[in-house]
Amino acid sequence: MNPADEATLPYDPLDATKIWDESLNPPLLVGRMILNRNPDNHLEQVEKLAFAPANLVSGIEFSDDKLLQGRAIVYSDAQRHRLGNDFRKIPVNRQADWSSSSMTDSGDGRHIEGTIGRSSNTKQDHFTQAGQRYNSLSEQQKQNLTDNLAVELSAASVENQRIVLGYLNQASPDMAHRVYLQIEKYGKQ
C-alpha cells in the first residue's frame, strides 16, 4: 500500500483486526524461500532456531505496526529465555562475525527522541470492513457463519444478545437479521 493511501481509509490499516483488500492492494513478491531439504537434526536445526524482527537488514526499518514493534522487543527476550543467553552461538543461529555493534538498521546514524504514550485511534470505523467481508461470502458461508453465531448467542443472556446483534447490525443488517432469526429458532427448541 502506498503510505499516502492510509489517510483515505476509514480505518487504521495497521490495526491487527483489519484486513487489506487485496483487490486494491495486491501482494507484492519480494522474494522466495526454497525449502530444498529436510533438517538432518530436528532439535538442533528447528527447535533451536531463533527469528526476531529486531534483526534488520540494512535499508529496512519498522513500520508503525504496533504488533511488529512489540515483537521486535520481546522476541529476543523470549529466545534468550528459551535457548539461553548465548542463543546466537547455536550453530543454526550463528552469523559470521556477529557482535551487538554489527546490528544494522536504516537509521544512518539518525536518532529519534520522544515519549511513548497511549493515544486513541482517530479512525473509529470498526464495522464497514466486517460488513464487506460478510457480503463477500457465498450464500453457504453466510449461512454457516450466522448459524454458528446464533448457536452460541442462544445460550447468552438477552442483554448480551442485544449488544452483539447491535454490533452485527452495524456491520451488516442482513447478518444481524439472520442471526436474530436463528437465535429465535434455537430458543424454541
What secondary structure, in 3-state letters, does the chain show?
CCHHHHHHCCCCCCCCCCCCCCCCCCCCCCCCCCCCCCCCCHHHHHHCCCCCCCCECCCCCCCCCHHHHHHHHHHHHHHHHHHCCCHHHCHHHCCCCCCHHHCECCCCCCCCCCCCCCCCCCCCCCCHHHHHHHHHCCHHHHHHHHHHHHHHHCCCCHHHHHHHHHHHHHHCHHHHHHHHHHHHHHHCC
Asked if residue 162 has pLDDT above 70, the reply is yes
The mean pLDDT of the chain is 84
Of the ranges 36-50, 84-98, 111-125, 146-160, which one carries the lowest mean pLDDT score? 111-125
Average the pLDDT over 68-73 and give the result. Answer: 84
Bin 87: left if φ > 0, else alpha if -120 < ψ < 50, else beta.
alpha
Q: What is the pLDDT of residue 15?
A: 81
Output the pLDDT for position 151.
94
Whether pLDDT at 73 is above 70: yes
Band of the pLDDT at 121, cuts 50, 70, 90?
low
Tally Cβ neighbours within 10 Å of residue 147. 14
What are 170-188's pLDDT values in tens digits?
999 999 999 999 999 887 6
Tens of pLDDT, residues 127-141 = 988 898 899 899 999
For residue 59, the model assigns a pLDDT of: 65
C-alpha cell read off for 189: 427448541
Instruction: Check residues 124 and 116 and name the one with the higher pLDDT.
Output: 124
pLDDT band at residue 110, thresholds of 50, 70 and 90? low
Give the C-alpha separation, 91 to 89, whole Å: 6
Angle between helices 128-136 and 173-187 (to 10 degrees): 70
Please give the pLDDT value at position 109: 56
